[in-house]
Homo-oligomer: A and B are copies of this chain.
Amino acid sequence: MKGLTFVGLGLNDEAGLSFRGLEETRNADSAFIELYTSLLPEFSLKRFETLAGKKVTLLSRRDLEEANGEALLEAAGQGCVVFLVPGDPFVATTHAALRIEAEKRGIKTQIIHGASAISAVIGLSGLQNYKFGKTVTIPFPETSSETPYNVIAENRERGLHTLCLLDLKADEHRFLSVNEGLQALMAVERKIQKGVVTSGSLAVGAARVGSVNPALKAGWIGELLKYDFGGPPQSLIFPSELHFMEVEALIRFAGASEKLRGAVK
């Protein structure tokens, strides 16, 4: 059967893949993978190929963004193809154009879902998904932007938490850290001065969520700037109004100070 199946690799390494994803990969006529849109810190393509029992072609940013995935689309026009991507496919905007192009060419597409950093970071933090507003990505400093600050401020006005993803270019081994993300936001704070991201604001940093040694630390920004989160990928949460269960979770799971109980309603 012809077709293109987007398979989510989930988090961290090849063990993040679901059984459904592996079965589809084993049965496919050919398999492609990209590893630049997110970082799976302990993933090995060699181990994955052994597991899948076939050669898996690694596609670069160039193959997908400049050549528009032509090699992959050609293969999918002739047989059953899987395309493996980090996390859960299409949560970000990535590869949406590829999926549309495939359908335009009459190639049937389907998705096999994987664990996404977005739900995983929220779940690990102990904060409640229903209380999150819009998600935002903090870009590298060369694309200086006030957007993340404004998103945090707007969410907070509605009593909503903000998940901030931190920009990364896995193919260039560049990963924005919690520390750099906080510095970028505090630079905007010095300009706009709404008091949204100050050294006394509460934030939660996370790193390597989905691995066996994730880091999670809640504290005032002044504290977080001194905390060692270890390697990438990292992300940030700015909590707004906290339910008492969320306060307990931040104290128990994220090392927040017991003083947090008094600091919130």
Contact = CB atoms under 8 A, between A and B. Distances in A.
Interface of A: 8, 10-12, 14-20, 22-23, 88-93, 96-97, 99-100, 103-104, 109-111, 113-116, 118-120, 122-124, 126, 128-137, 154, 158, 160, 209-210, 212, 245, 248-249, 252-253
B130 A135 contact: yes
Contacts of A93: 128, 130, 245
Given A15-B23, A91-B123, 12 more contacts: A8-B115, A10-B18, A11-B113, A17-B18, A18-B115, A89-B123, A99-B252, A100-B126, A104-B252, A116-B116, A118-B129, A132-B135
A77 B126 CA distance: 22
Contact of A20 (B16, B131, B252): B16
6 contacts: A90-B126, A91-B123, A96-B245, A116-B119, A134-B158, A154-B158
B130 A136 contact: yes
Contacts of A248: 100
Contacts of A212: 110
Contact of A130 (B92, B124, B209): B92
Contacts of A16: 18-20, 113
B103 A113 contact: no
Interface centre among A15, A120, A124 (most CB of B within 10 A): A120
Contacts of A209: 113
B15 A19 contact: yes
Tell me which of A22, A88, A123, A245 has the highest count of chain B C-beta atoms within 10 A of its own C-beta. A123
A65 to B, nearest CB: 14
